[in-house]
A and B are shown apart, each in its own frame.
Chain A
Amino acid sequence: MKVLIPPARGQGEPLRWFFLILIVIGLLCISSVSALSVTGSKFMATMPPGSETTHTITLNIEGATEPLDLQADVMGFTNGPDGAYLGVSAEEDTSPYSARTYVTLDRNQVHLLPGTSEKITATISVPKNAGSGGRYAMIYIHSGVQGAKSVGFISAVAVPVMITIGGSDLVKTGTLTGISVGDIATGQPFVVTTGFQNTGNHHYYGVTDTVVISDATGVIATESIGPTAWAVIPGSTVNFKVPIRTPLPVGTYTVQSTVTKEDGTVLDSKSENFEVAIPFTPPPTSAKITLTPQSEGVLVSPDGRYSVTFPAGSVLSNVEVTLRPLQLTMVPTGTETIELGSSTFVVEGLSGLLARPATVRVKYSEDDLSAANGDANSLKLARFDAGGNAWTILSTSRDGETLVIQSDRMGTWAVAAAPGVGGTGIDTNMMILGGIIAVIIILISVFMLKRKKNTE
């Protein structure tokens, strides 16, 4: 994939930059390489020491009109922290479980013509003194960068090679390398991350991490992730991220993380204590309704904290509308920074303006209040205007702990701390336009006054 921003004309002071950047046009040109098709895209076998076999990888490009050059390399093999299968370069491949040197390819370069297929034959030789357990390598097949000026993306396929040494002792052990509790904020996902390393000599699939949260009274929550579809390779360390969906009052808790194999065998388990300083409420799940022109519709998050009331006549035809919580990391940034709380969500399914304004209600959280330094009066509802790439802080009334606004457009919503902002309901673009008009009127008035004085 190639992303191009055409050139600019100069450099200067920030204001000038602003106007210059406004006219920057980016070009993202992706050459359509067409589909890279690979069969024999995995090798997994038990091989006795001193044995040899071959594995055929067949390549073609579907729907292509241009030829494609591919490069194939043998690499080491490990897991990334997220479990992703990664190739390891020869220089960095120091694993005792590497099969990189066991694998040779009959060729490293392939010229694929449209409508034809080509084969790469891998010869896999297990030495007589191979030892025990599993041995791992990756055959990395990738295209070159496509095009000249319009450089395309690169499509690649990694072929895992997973060899079990026949007749050897397979050790399937693992250890937890750490447990960490992420930031805890109301309405936001709270994640327990468990580091786990395969300390054995053989891979295993179907690993599950179960997290149990308890306090002095007993178990509060049990959550798990898995079983994994991917294998944990010996020597690799992966991070399991388990989201917690249970409310937690202020207090001290113990989190226990247990990693098990597919058959339920415990590989390792560890505990840590953590504190919850502000009551934790998990993010709501999505809610969906079908709006009709004839009747009122109320879209409410399952936990009741967010709601949108659409009056009859707000839409002109039946529309399916969804309310979905949004993680803070996914909230768009605007041209100006505003202080957001933790209550963020998006209303999807509506484009354009509503025929009649809807009422948006949000019960603010302790975290929202913290963002406003405890001043509930400075909490406002803000809506992200994608067209203007800006947050608009709206005129917000407060009903107890609920913020209320009326709006004729939906989109991304957030509770914002905006001390001193009255929330006029006029968006930023309108304010800028109004300011420009005011300046023009003042300039014309001054000009007219001067002209009048001169004529006198």
Chain B
Amino acid sequence: MKDLVVLTVLALLCGGLVLPVSAATSTDTTYIQSNPVQGLVLDVTGNITTWDLSNIGDNIDNTDISMRIRSNTPWQINVYDALNEGKPAASAGHMTEYSMSLYGGYNTTDVGRMLYYPLELQAQSYDIPVVLSGAQQLFASGNPTPSGGAELGGLLYNLTVNQKLRFADARLPDDDAYRIVVTFVATNV
């Protein structure tokens, strides 16, 4: 009988201890709900120090420029020639005569020269090249990029740049050069 009383007391004690705990669990639970905001990281980098524009025809570099995109939702990257620094409107997409010492920037006079063919860019070797112009064009797109675990993650592209040259493209005097600035625009779609 004593044992029964002891067991009953223990059971009540356990119940008394457990029940309040249960109650506390249900009443004090804090639900945290969240969702990361959309975000992306665009990294275009590289350096071609000796690009020999020596070929009449294609001059291709496909080893020195890379582009990495990291995004947690579907994304696009567009490219275009934004005509920065007063680049003449008619030269959109073309490497254009530039000299700080002679013209203070691009040669915007009537005799300003540019290469005949616009610059071409490819994100991957099997893509149809994007012929650069003043209008934004779709360059690459995709779904959320791989996290990469401990690595940087994202998608890495080795870009191909091609400048076609023809006989009639003028060589420029010293202190003068052809130049172009390419704008890469990343967007979450």
Contacts and interface: CB of A to CB of B under 8 A. Distances in A.
A158 B185 contact: yes
B57 A29 contact: no
A1 B170 contact: no
A82 B137 contact: yes
Nearest to B117: A333
A30 B143 contact: no
Interface in A76-95: 80, 82-86
B138 A83 contact: yes
Contact of B39 (A21, A39, A80, A386): A39
Contacts of B37: 39-41
B85 A3 contact: no
Give the one of A28, A324, A329 with max B CB within 10 A. A28
A454 interface: no
Given A39-B37, A156-B185, A20 B45 contact: no
Given A24-B171, A27-B50, A35 B185 contact: no
Given A28-B51, A154-B82, A37 B41 contact: yes
B167 A14 contact: yes
Contacts of A5: 53, 95, 172, 177-178
Contact of A80 (B46, B138, B179): B138
Contacts of B64: 28
Given A3-B179, A4-B179, A37-B41, A389 B58 contact: yes
A3 B178 contact: yes
Interface residues of B, number: 77
Given A26-B53, A28-B51, A229-B141, A11 B39 contact: no
A390 to B, nearest CB: 8
Interface in A118-171: 140, 142, 145, 148-149, 151-160
Contacts of A389: 55-58
A317 interface: no
Contacts of B78: 80, 84-86, 158
B187 A157 contact: yes
A332 interface: yes
Contacts of A35: 41-43, 68, 70
Interface string A21-62: 111111111101111111111100000000000000000001
Nearest to A157: B186
A116 interface: no
B38 A39 contact: yes
Nearest to A189: B128
A154 B76 contact: no
Contacts of A1: 44, 65, 180-182
B145 interface: no
B172 A28 contact: no
B111 interface: no
B19 interface: no
A334 interface: yes
A41 B51 contact: no
28 contacts: A4-B177, A11-B171, A18-B167, A21-B54, A21-B165, A24-B54, A25-B54, A27-B177, A28-B65, A29-B48, A30-B65, A35-B70, A37-B41, A40-B37, A40-B39, A80-B135, A80-B137, A80-B138, A82-B137, A84-B138, A86-B136, A149-B100, A151-B179, A153-B183, A154-B181, A155-B183, A159-B187, A333-B57
Q: Give 8 closest A-B pairs by Cβ, nearest first.
A: A8-B171, A35-B43, A39-B39, A26-B53, A26-B51, A389-B55, A229-B74, A28-B48
Given A26-B53, A145-B84, A154-B184, 4 more contacts: A2-B179, A21-B171, A155-B43, A157-B187
